[in-house]
Amino acid sequence: VAVKSLRPRAMSTDTFLEEAQVMTSLAHKNIVQLLAVCTQEEPILIVTEYFEYGNLLSYMRSPSGVQLEVKTLLKIAENVAEGMAFIEKKKCIHRKLSAKSIFLTTELAAKVGDFDFAKNSTEFKATEVDVQQWYIFRWMALESILYGVFTIKSDVWSYGIVLIEIISRGASPYSGMTPPAIMMMIEEDGRCPQPDTCPDSLYEIMLQCWAKNPADRPTFEFLADYMRDLSL
């Protein structure tokens, strides 16, 4: 198993336990399984299943990961979309979706994890200070950067960035750009460029994920179906 403990002064107990509360409602084959929560004494612990291959980003940058075939990468992307579609169905938001928050089984099945920012809500408004302190602009939707608004549609934007990480086998999105430059580019309707290894059909769906109007972005249910067709 993997054990996550509440570090002193890292966050409030209520915030830490909110992660476990979200996970209790998310039992799905493509979501990290919560096994136990230990609250009787300090430190408070969250116990989940363990992944020998670790997170997706680390694995893709390993000697084994860089050799993954495109079909396998697309299957991983499908797994992530299926996990997020269940989160969408449960009316939760993740808020921290990236290749680091996805974990791989030894069979290369992907599971969404790292729910410390997740909310049992359809919308969350973060303060400007929280956005600057806790969030990483490279994965954030335009409305999240400008207004601190997070919804399942901002998770869809983040999924588009995860697709960049997957198809490039762990390359950093917006490579070489500073956060202010990224903000300026997406405000002016620029988007993360298409990697050389990325098929046009995949980049097309990424652009849909990054639509300026959140309502114009696809659902995760649609994305799961789309990725399933691509991986066949």
Rounded to an integer, the average pLDDT of 13-35 is 91
> Is 44 part of any domain?
no
For residue 178, being part of any structural domain is answered with yes
As a whole number, mean pLDDT of residues 2-18 equals: 80
Task: Please indicate, yes or no, if residue 211 is contained in any of the structural domains.
Answer: yes
How do residues 132-145 score in pLDDT, each as one tens digit? 655 678 999 999 98
Instruction: Tell me what the pLDDT averaged over the chain comes to.
Output: 92
Q: Is residue 21 part of a domain?
A: no
pLDDT digits (tens, 9 = 90+) for 170-220: 999 999 898 889 989 999 999 999 999 899 999 999 999 999 999 999 999
- Domain span holding position 135: 51-231
Residue 132 domain-assigned (yes or no): yes
Q: Is residue 67 part of a domain?
A: yes
Residue 86 lies in a domain: yes
Please state the domain count of the chain: 1
- Has residue 46 got a pLDDT over 60? yes
pLDDT at 12: 76
The pLDDT value recorded for residue 132 is 61
Q: Tell me, what's the pLDDT at 134?
A: 55
Over range 1-8, report the average pLDDT: 86
pLDDT 10s digits, 99-116: 999 999 999 999 999 998
CATH of the domain at 144: 1.10.510.10
- For range 65-81, the mean pLDDT: 96
* 190 occurs within a structural domain: yes
Residue 156: CB partners within 8 Å, gap ≥ 6?
141, 209, 214, 217, 218, 219, 220, 223
Residue range 33-46: mean pLDDT, rounded: 90
Q: Which is more confident, 77 or 18?
A: 77
Label residue 44 by pLDDT band (50, 70, 90).
confident
The pLDDT tens digits of the residues spanning 53-68 come to: 999 999 999 999 999 9
pLDDT greater than 60 at residue 90 = yes
Share of the chain above pLDDT 90, in %: 78
